[in-house]
Amino acid sequence: MDQQVIQTAKELSIQVIRQAGQIAKEKFDDIADIQAKDEFGDVVTEVDHLAEGIILEQIQAVFPDHQIHSEEAGVIGSENDWLWLIDPLDGTNNFAIGLPVFSVSITLMYKKNPVLGVVYEPLTDRLFVSVAGEGTYCNDKPVHVKNSPNFLRGNIGWIQGHKVQNDPKAVQLRQFIDIRFKRMMRLWAPTLQWCMLAKGDLDGIVLYNSEGDDLYSGILMVKEAGGVVIDFDGNPFDGMSNEPYMIACHPDHQEQMLQLVREGLSLRAGG
């Protein structure tokens, strides 16, 4: 793995993500075009396309041989060891209704593992940067996953894919976990929840079949901030998955989290 590639990619990502975020900030609450994206109620705005264009143009100029997968443009280039994952506006549905909870996410993968994650929250000017082996930073300050002494009084993030909808097992697990913690958060902007966990503002995350261009930057953020990311069988989550089911938290809480998820999944639907 070429460290110079990662360093150059880091500098480039920080530059372009701020540019893309500025567009989102300027257009917030003043959107000219909103279109339905799929049958599940997802939408796309002009900002998605404008921000994406800025990011893609500059990455392709510097790394023409790298493959890119972007939320709206799809796959660009041939498969190789290097893969960029771009979500130009994570939280588009929030953005579209004037809810100020959204971000821009850029991830660089090497051999299907994240080596660079950059997430920018324009309205708060929070920039999260994580490089494999180098920790996670928010506005240049190191952040760490929290080890809460009162874990079950904490705040848990729930993330589910658009296609999950009201799947009975997902609803059952979500409700089971919800009533066992102080608060369950569903932001519909997954990268921000991952960053909140990395920063110590959330105590854990349960993710139910939610794969996308916004996933792997968050996983890297949490791991590099001292957290663990495991699947529902308790195995460390590595690489990529088309249907991920995972738990993320401080290492000291992983057994407790895993047990809660197993209990929630073992109940009869509606029971």
Q: What is the pLDDT of residue 40?
A: 53
For residue 18, which amino acid is it?
Answer: R
- One domain for residues 100 and 166: no
- One domain for residues 89 and 180: no
Q: What is the pLDDT of residue 36?
A: 61
Last residue of a domain, one of 142, 169, 196: 142
User: In angstroms, how far is CA 71 from the centroid of its own chain?
Assistant: 13
Cα gap 64→66, rounded to integer Å: 6
- One domain for residues 188 and 134: no
In a domain? residue 169: yes
- One domain for residues 181 and 138: no
The boundaries of the domain holding residue 85 are 3-142
Cα gap 76→83, rounded to integer Å: 10
In a domain? residue 89: yes
Flag residues of the chain having pLDDT under 50: 270-271
- One domain for residues 8 and 124: yes
Instruction: Report which DSSP code applies to 151.
Output: G
- One domain for residues 156 and 188: yes
- One domain for residues 132 and 216: no
- One domain for residues 130 and 235: no
- One domain for residues 12 and 115: yes
In a domain? residue 271: no
- Indicate the SS3 state at residue 108: strand
Residues in the chain: 271
Q: What is the pLDDT of residue 96?
A: 87
Cα gap 85→48, rounded to integer Å: 14
Query: Could you read off the pLDDT of 232-264 as tens digits, one per residue?
Result: 999 999 999 999 999 999 999 999 999 999 999
Give strand pairing partners of 44.
35
Query: Is the CB of residue 224 less than 8 Å from the CB of residue 134?
Result: yes
Query: Could you read off the pLDDT of 86-98 as tens digits, one per residue?
Result: 999 999 889 988 9
Q: What is the pLDDT of residue 219?
A: 97
- One domain for residues 20 and 133: yes
Give the chain's domain count: 2
- One domain for residues 128 and 197: no
Cα gap 254→10, rounded to integer Å: 31
- One domain for residues 17 and 130: yes
Instruction: Report which DSSP code applies to 235.
Output: P
Backbone angles phi, psi at 134, to 5 degrees: -125, 5
